[in-house]
Amino acid sequence: MVLFALYALAPLAWLVINASKTQQSMFDSFGLWFAGRFALLDNLHQVLTYDGGIYVRWLANTILYVVVGAGGATVLATLAGYGLAKYDFPGKRAVFATVLGAIAIPGTALAVPTFLMFSQLHLTNTIWAVIVPSLVSPFGLYLVWVYALDAVPTEILEAARIDGSGELRTFLTIGLRLLTPGVVTVALFAVVATWNNYFLPLIMLNDPNLFPLTIGLQQWNLRATGVNATPIYNLVISGSLLAIVPVVAIFLALQRYWQSGLAAGSVKA
Amino acid sequence: MGPATSLPRRRRSLAGLWFVVPFLAVFLFVLVVPVLYSLYLSVFQDKLIGGRSFVGLANYSQLFSDPKFWDGLGRVALFLAVQVPVMLGLALVAALAIDSGRLHGAPFFRMSVFLPYAVPGVVAVLMWGFMYGDQFGLAGNINKLVGHELLTPLSPQWILVAIGNIVTWEFVGYNMLIFYSALRSVPSDLYEAAAIDGAGAWRVVFSIKLPALRQAIVIATIFSIIGSFQLFNEPNILRTLIPSVIATYFTPNMYAYNLSFAGQQYAYAATLAIVMGVVTAVIAYVVQLRGSREANR
């Protein structure tokens, strides 16, 4: 297990170490140890100010896409998963089969057709081109469904109904509370998926002012090649480090919740 | 007002529908309609002169005799056959070790193996790409140390292994966690019964733990298959370092991307997307079927 942990952590250590180097000492020092001037703060300052502070803009875009996209995906998946688990209505089986089938459709296979459709609707190169496709998480729906079957006893819902509580109120006051670990799990994985999204914004967006961090960093990386090459590797590396920190922090802070939520989803199918 | 129990069943079932409708609306818009639209596109051809014309299945027959398509498909199939078993095997070993109760600091190991999953794929590839490089990478450091070209992860022979390593690094922890969660849900009286029967540690692994993991393994395998067929980020970003080693049709997905955004061949790209979707769905379905059949035996 020590080997496992080393394998997982060494590259991250490399990232931290090299984020503290100047571009020059990156080239002429050993990769897994500090060297030269400790330039981390310098690098971070440059990351935030380079090109008129475009990195900050990318960070804000990423946060917007995550809050609206992943947040919306969580709300939709929670409502639908709960509805499918706890109600009977005509066409329910068909809905369920279609959504589960959709898990097997590669998102990237859809990207090209979605791009074509969105460009017909003049939605490409807008924030909606990134947000709207992120709103649907078939796997999230599946997780909530599994979780709701186990964690929300139908008898409690019946009792609430007898007390005169409406369906929506029953959901908000009872269902949602019992579903919390499942919802946190869905939210976290939606956040990671949106924060890390690369392919979709890559094809949907041209305007650097709309880029999320992932596309922005790759654009910086591309500066090292081509005719007017001006490598800014130190910024790519420090900017990458900065892009990881929030996601890792969220995971560490909420691990109690999402691990129990994941347990339900991994057993049944 | 009558008692709430007399609420007509119909109204209650409609309430259920209202919970599902918002999801379904977006689902139709971003999943069903694009699929139908690409089916429609795939039977047309765009020409510079003459515009769009109906060509029937011509795009499909062109695709099936397109060496670039087969090249990419063969590469991801090879990748799938090697990388997925390695990754899932490692994840299984790690999950069993962490669950065994004999490991000190298990929560620390669980979290550290999982952490790479939270790293954006782009960042992971940039990072590994730098480390692979001989300029300021670890590979370069090691080569300098031993005095000759020992490690050349970015060369044509090794590039697929190099990509496999990145993908394994990114997802081994995620799969480990799926397995670990499944192991946690084994009722503890099963272990007690095994102990009373005098079962050893290996016996417990093979008779209790692995059977309990079957469904989780099927799920993880299906997700990994989908991931392999979608392979795009890693080779596409590495391509900026080594354009001569990674072609524009290195994987089917890169081919589709380059067809549409560099070549404007949207109809052909849509055809490729459909074929890849069908291939993935069929293989995922077969795995699912085999997984559940073995479970019923």
CA–CA dist A57, A63 (Å, integer): 10
The one-letter code for the residue type at B32 is V
Gap from A106 CA to chain B (nearest CA, Å): 6
Interface test with A, best of B39, B93, B131, B136 (most A CBs within 10 A): B136
CA–CA dist B1, B102 (Å, integer): 62
Contact A76 B23 (CB under 8 A): yes
Interface test with A, best of B76, B103, B126, B294 (most A CBs within 10 A): B126
The one-letter code for the residue type at B266 is Y
Contact B274 A109 (CB under 8 A): yes
What pLDDT is recorded for position B154?
A: 80
Tokens representing B220? 């993880």
Helix H segments across chain B?
A: 9-27, 33-41, 58-64, 67-99, 106-114, 121-132, 138-146, 159-184, 188-196, 201-204, 210-229, 233-238, 252-261, 266-296
CA–CA dist B111, A74 (Å, integer): 24
Nearest to B126 among A26, A32, A236 (CB): A236
Burial of B147 (0-12, 13-18, 19+ CB in 10 A): exposed
What pLDDT is recorded for position B135?
A: 63
Helix A138-151, helix A92-103: angle, nearest 10: 130
Spatial contact of B4 and A162, defined as CB atoms under 8 Å apart: yes
- Which residues between 139 and 158 in chain A have a beta carbon less than 8 angstroms from any beta carbon of chain B? 141
A3 reaches B (C-beta below 8 A): no
Contact B113 A5 (CB under 8 A): yes
A174 reaches B (C-beta below 8 A): no
- pLDDT exceeds cutoff 50 at A102: yes
Phi, psi of B238 (to 5 degrees): -60, -30
Nearest chain A residue to B32, by CA: A102
Mean pLDDT of A230-241: 80
Q: Which residues of chain B have pLDDT under 50?
A: 1-6
Contact B184 A244 (CB under 8 A): no
- Which residues between 46 and 65 in chain A have a beta carbon less than 8 angstroms from any beta carbon of chain B? none
CA–CA dist A99, A88 (Å, integer): 17
Contact A263 B230 (CB under 8 A): no
- pLDDT exceeds cutoff 50 at A269: no
Nearest chain A residue to B232, by CA: A199
3-class SS of residue B44: strand
H/E/C letters for each residue in B224-243? HHHHHHCCCHHHHHHCCCCC
| List of chain A residues whose C-beta atoms are within 8 Å of the C-beta of residue B237 | 218, 221
Interface test with B, best of A66, A87, A155, A268 (most B CBs within 10 A): A87
Among the residue ranges A214-218, A229-233, B231-235, the one predicted with the least confidence is A229-233
Contact B35 A99 (CB under 8 A): no
- pLDDT exceeds cutoff 60 at A267: no
Enter the ipTM. Answer: 0.84
pLDDT, tens digit (0-9, with 9 covering 90-100), for B11-67:
666 778 888 999 999 999 988 898 888 888 889 887 766 677 888 888 899 999 999
- pLDDT exceeds cutoff 70 at A35: no
What pLDDT is recorded for position B5?
A: 47
Distance of CA A115 to the CA centre of its chain: 20
Contact B130 A237 (CB under 8 A): yes
The one-letter code for the residue type at B214 is R
Distance of CA B261 to the CA centre of its chain: 24
| List of chain A residues whose C-beta atoms are within 8 Å of the C-beta of residue B288 | 269
What pLDDT is recorded for position B278?
A: 87
Nearest to A136 among B31, B130, B230 (CB): B31
Q: Which residue has the higher pLDDT, B80 or A166?
A: B80
Query: What residues form DSSP beta bridges with B47?
Result: B51
What pLDDT is recorded for position A225?
A: 66
CA of B252: how far to CAs of A101, A201, A202, B236, B239, in Å? 21, 19, 17, 12, 15
CB-based contacts of A73, cutoff 8 Å, min separation 6: A134, A135, A136, A137, A140, A186, A190, A194
Tokens representing A126? 């807008």
Candidate ranges A149-153, A265-269, B1-5, B235-239; pick with highest mean pLDDT:
B235-239
Contact A161 B7 (CB under 8 A): yes
Tokens representing A251? 């995971």
Contact B18 A83 (CB under 8 A): yes
Mean pLDDT of chain A: 82
Contact A109 B280 (CB under 8 A): yes
Nearest to B27 among A114, A136, A247 (CB): A136
CA–CA dist B85, B81 (Å, integer): 7
A259 reaches B (C-beta below 8 A): yes
